[in-house]
Chains A and B, each alone.
Chain A
Amino acid sequence: MSDAGNRFRTLLGHRLFWPVAVLVVMLAANTVYRPGFLSVEVNNGHLYGTPIDILRLSAPLILVALGMTLVISTGGIDLSVGSVCAISGAIACLYISRAPDQDNLVTVLTALAMALGAALALGAWNGVLVSVIGIQPIIATLILMVAGRGLAQLVAEGQIITINSGPYRAIGLGHLLTLPLAIFIALAAALLVAAFTRRTALGMIVESVGGNREASRLAGIRSGRVVFLVYVVSAACAAIAGFMMTANVSSADGNNTGLWVELDAILAVVIGGTSLAGGRFYLGGTILGALIIQTLTTTVYAMNISPQTALLFKAVVVIAVCLIQAPAFRAKFRRRRSGTPPPPQSSPQRQKEQVPA
């Protein structure tokens, strides 16, 4: 086999190859369908255009998915993030709506601090259920997923809270250096999480706990603390995402804020190559996954298809990505395509390439 062939196989086997390919194909298809798709223009000193919109709108999902990545890496899952978005959004909006001066920066910051505090408490609740009481994560967070919607409505007393606060709106719609502020917030969060995990030993310890919890405990890792921590981080990320979602529309709706974001976030994490079984995690892959999901949504909107029907496309993408990543499917596909078994030396190499460093 030629060197180029091997390199091609290596590229094909890279865990980010297919996600990137999907994103590129979607962007290309959009550009063909609507040639102005990729164009960006300057207006009022701000950049506008579909790519910018995609980045801005994907910011909340990126935030939620970052926290979710860590949770999934420990072998857990956090179904409650949507509810946490709703609760934190509702608390922040409620506080601002009752304030005499909604444009007061101190008011807004107090509101954010209160809401974030509440979210941290909810994250701690999840963390305690999982790490102290030892309930399976999917079930432990299901509790808050169900009850959280009720709590959000309780906070808002069943109403949709509308506010008119400039500083708060800026979280979702403001600009910084010609780009939407939301992009910077998401980017900052991503860098923070990356530094938090990769500059310290936290990342490895999270992966170790997710890979084998009992072995980690016997190696002297306080697994409980680590697991507790990731649920708190996840809730904090969800709270910030909740601020963005409510700031985008200047209102908080306990029923609909962050509805299904947990599913999108899990999807983004899986597309990004982190296994739902726990272990290795990939923050870059997660962000890519979130971008794919948002690009898909934007594409569907641009084609004038109803948002609900967009779910059809999402289903197709989920299946496609999962099939491509499923080793069983790859094996079957490879066998059918090549007919003859691959040369022996290329197989171990493939495996090696799939194994992330």
Chain B
Amino acid sequence: MTDSRPVLTMTGISKSFPGVRALHNVDFRLFPGEVHALMGENGAGKSTLIKVLTGVYGIDEGTVTLDGEQVAFNGPMQAAAAGVSTVYQEVNLCPNLSVAENIFIGREPRRLGAVNWGEVRRRARQLLARLDLDIDVTAPVASFSLAVQQMVAIARAIDVQARVLILDEPTSSLDAGEVAQLFRIMRQLRDEGIAILFVTHFLDQVYGIADRITVLRNGALVGEYPIAELPQLALVEKMIGKELDVLELMEEHPRQTATATEGGAPFVQVSNLGRRGAVAPFSLTIHAGEVVGLAGLLGSGRTEVARLLFGADRADRGEVQVDGTRTGLRNPVQAIDQGIGFCSENRRAEGIIADLSVRENMILAMQAARGWLRPIPRRRQDELVDRYIKALSIRPANPEMPVRNLSGGNQQKVLLARWLITEPRLLILDEPTRGIDIGAKAEIQKLVVQLSDGGMAVLFISAELEEVLRLSHRIAVMRDRQLVAQLDNDDTVDADRVMQTIASGAEHEEASR
């Protein structure tokens, strides 16, 4: 499989930005007919390496050779023309254009200078058929699901006779079925001799599809390994660089007993809450001091449940009781009044205010609750902000720095602090650990445990089943926009059982309380 010459070689690549050395003397090679995973924590230099390769950034030092010839692309278009195509994490298509046009725009077949629309549509259908996708190619891309859009992006990428296909976190918004479909296509393309560079945060996926792994750390190369020679734990060690307590924490599965809250009165009681087109009516009870995990595939309605509970979307049926009193949660303001906080999964779009400082981001929710006529005295602000910067070890510990300058993990902690300052009784965390490095991840997990020990109720949503299992007292399982089961997280519950519930739906209904 890899006995041939590499199709792509990068040698001694260095790249600096003002004040930051993003890549230092990195070597990388890619063979035809392999899936090569590029691994590393956030900030390790994966994206930079890809951008250097495709010519988005210039190279400071080092050479790139494609098929033995030295190349220096001036942008993604030139790279694609030379057979190096990229599909990005966030689907980069034009939502207003048709599927067919999205595949061919920029290189439409033309007749006498005019775009030949018939040919565009015909070839688009052909190409999508190769990916087993039968959709209306004249419909605007915006009318399809993210997964389909991702496939369209891949169709676009492979149309140019790609020899190298770069997939930059293509799976982060796909559910398991969609990932399987993507993998099937990746294997098919690999067997056709295409070299695939695959970037992902999901370790399982790497071991599910990759042939070879290259690990980066702090902009430097750690090594290149055949998949068989690098067990999962070793990979994590190489990515982090040293064995941290973190790893032990990850391994020991400190599952908690489900008894913690049996006696207490429920804090939030939801009955038949639902919203047409978003989530079917569901009932859920959350006690003080309890961590309820919400498991399910992406698109199964997890986020929708969270948004209804927080009033971010308005429920069109059902009722909510807080402390036994019926109450409406029609908007976030009402939810916050009831002591509910919500960290959105979409940190950049729905979380941080990039322009504002760390301090302002932290006190925002509290200030909003007080109303703008009653500003929080500056001394109190500083006190609160200092306390949480310390407690959550936010770095850099400068409250006046604009939050956009912080790393993803630290931004997430700022958001947590924003809600912790309001001293909520229920904190809804939607994918709080996604896309952040392992150190920050462990810290956030630890925090969740501490908070619930302190009496706060937490609704914990994560795509990583393991994380949900480790933290939750109780697990609510979502499937196809329905809450299908609630499992007490005791010894009988493990990943397999949750997985089965997700797969088979209501079978385990009896197990719920």
Asked if B350 contacts A211 (CB within 8 A), the reply is no
Number of interface residues of A (CB under 8 A): 33
Query: A201-B376, A207-B356, A211-B353 are contacts. A216–B364 as well, Cβ < 8 Å?
Result: yes
Residues of A within 8 A of B376 (CB): 201
B69 within 8 A of A: no
In the assembled complex, B365 has its CB within 8 A of some CB on chain A: yes
**B-facing mask of A190-216, CB < 8 A → 1, else 0?**
000000000111101101101110111
Does A316 belong to the interface (CB within 8 Å)?
A: no
A46 within 8 A of B: no
With a CB–CB cut-off of 8 A, which chain B residues contact A352?
401
The answer on a CB contact under 8 Å between A205 and B18 is no
B19 touches A207 (CB 8 A): no
List of A residues within 8 angstroms of B365 by Cβ: 219-220
**Which one of A207, A221, A226 has the highest number of Cβ atoms from chain B below 10 Å of its Cβ?**
A221
B19 and A357 form a contact (CB under 8 A): no
Asked if B367 lies at the interface with its beta carbon under 8 angstroms from chain A, I say yes
User: How far apart sit A222 and B365, CA to CA, in the bound complex (Å)?
Assistant: 11
Q: Are B360 and A204 within 8 A (Cβ)?
A: yes
Within 8 A of A (CB), among B300-339: 310, 312, 332-333, 336
With contact pairs A212-B354, A215-B349, A347-B19 given, residues A221 and B364 touching in the complex (Cβ less than 8 Å): yes
Main secondary structure of the interface of A (DSSP, over half): helix
User: Closest CB-CB distance, B394 to chain A, in whole Å?
Assistant: 17
Q: Considering only CB atoms, which chain A residue lies closest to B353 in the complex?
A: A211
B46 to chain A, nearest CB (A): 23
Say yes or no: B355 contacts A211, CB within 8 Å: yes
Minimal beta-carbon separation of A212 from chain B (angstroms): 5
Chain B proximity of A327: nearest CB distance (Å): 13
User: B284 at the A/B interface (Cβ < 8 Å)?
Assistant: no
Task: State how many angstroms separate the Cβ of B366 from the closest Cβ of chain A.
Answer: 9
Find out whether the CB atom of A344 lies under 8 angstroms from the CB atom of B356: no
Q: Tell me whether A202 and B364 are in contact (CB under 8 A).
A: no
State which of B310, B333, B356, B373 has its C-beta within 8 Å of the C-beta of A211.
B356
Q: Judge whether B111 is part of the interface by a CB distance below 8 angstroms.
A: no
- CA distance in complex: A351, B310 (Å): 37
Contacts of B310 in A (CB 8 A): 218
Query: Contact: A218 with B332, CB < 8 Å?
Result: yes
What per-residue 1/0 map shows which CB atoms of A214-234 lie under 8 Å from chain B? Answer: 111111111000100000000
Chain A residues whose C-beta falls within 8 Å of the C-beta of B55 in the assembled complex: none
- Kindly list chain B residues whose C-beta atoms are within 8 Å of the C-beta of A204: 356, 360, 364, 367
Cα of A217 to Cα of B353 in the assembled complex, Å:
11
- Interface core residue of A201, A208, A210 (most chain B CB under 10 Å): A201
Across the interface, name the chain A residue whose C-beta is closest to B312: A218
Q: B333 contacts A222, CB within 8 Å?
A: yes
User: Does any Cβ of A come within 8 Å of B58's Cβ?
Assistant: no
Give per-residue flags for B341-385: 1 if the beta carbon is below 8 A from chain A beta carbons, else 0.
Answer: 010100001111111110010001101111111111000000000
Residues of A near B418 (CB, < 8 A) are 219
Residues of chain B in range 363-418 having any CB-CB distance to chain A below 8 Å: 364-365, 367-376, 400-402, 418
Q: Which residues of A contact B352 (CB under 8 A)?
A: 212, 215
A204→B363 CA distance, assembly (Å)? 10
Q: Across the interface, do B372 and A207 meet the contact criterion of CB distance under 8 Å?
A: no
Contact with B along A293-330 (1 / 0, CB 8 A): 00000000000000000000000000000000000000
Among A204, A220, A355, the one with the most B-chain Cβ atoms within 10 Å of its Cβ is A220
- CB <8 Å contact, B353 and A215: yes
Q: How many A-B residue pairs have CB under 8 A?
A: 93
Are B332 and A200 interface neighbours, CB within 8 A?
Answer: no
Is residue A279 within 8 Å, beta carbon to beta carbon, of the partner chain?
A: yes
A169 interface residue per 8 A CB criterion: no
Distance between A229 CB and nearest chain B CB, rounded to angstroms: 9
Q: Kindly report which residue of chain A lies nearest to residue B373, judged by CB atoms.
A: A200
Q: A200 and B372: CB pair below 8 A?
A: yes
Check if A280 is an interface residue, CB within 8 A of chain B.
Answer: yes
Residues of B contacting A221 with CB < 8 Å? 364, 368
In whole angstroms, how far apart are the Cα atoms of A200 and B372 in the complex?
6
Q: Provide the residues of chain A in CB contact with B18, threshold 8 Å.
A: 341-342, 344, 347-348, 351
Contact status A205-B367, CB under 8 Å: yes
Interface contact A200-B375, CB-CB below 8 Å = yes
Binary flags per residue of B400-438, CB closer than 8 Å to A gives 1, else 0: 111000000000000000100000000000000000000
Chain B 45-69 interface residues, beta-carbon cutoff 8 Å to A: none
CB distance from B436 to the nearest CB of A (A): 18
A203 CB to nearest B CB, Å: 9
| Partner pick for A199 among B342, B367, B369, B375, CB 8 A cutoff | B375
Question: Nearest CB to that of B403 among chain A residues?
Answer: A211
Contact with B along A332-353 (1 / 0, CB 8 A): 0000000001101101100110
Closest beta carbon of chain B to A218's beta carbon, Å? 6
Residue of B whose beta carbon sits closest to that of A205: B372
Chain B residues within 8 Å of A351, by CB: 18
When the two chains form their complex, are residues A217 and B402 in contact, meaning their CB atoms are under 8 A apart? no
Q: How far is the CB of B37 from chain A (nearest CB, A)?
A: 32
User: Which B residues lie within 8 Å of A279 (CB)?
Assistant: 355-356
Contact of A220 among B19, B332, B353 (CB under 8 A): B332
Q: Which of A212, A226, A344 interacts with B353 by CB under 8 Å?
A: A212
Minimum distance in angstroms from B499 CB to a CB of chain A: 31
What are the residues of chain B within 8 A of A341 when measuring CB–CB?
Answer: 18
Write out the residue numbers on chain A whose beta carbons fall within 8 Å of the beta carbon of B356: 204, 207-208, 211, 279
* 16 new A-B contacts at CB < 8 Å, known A202-B372, A218-B342, A222-B333: A200-B372, A200-B373, A201-B375, A201-B376, A204-B356, A205-B368, A207-B355, A208-B353, A215-B344, A216-B368, A217-B332, A219-B364, A219-B365, A226-B372, A351-B18, A357-B357
Q: Which 10 A-B pairs have the closest CB atoms?
A: A279-B355, A347-B18, A220-B368, A211-B355, A211-B353, A201-B375, A220-B336, A221-B368, A202-B372, A201-B372
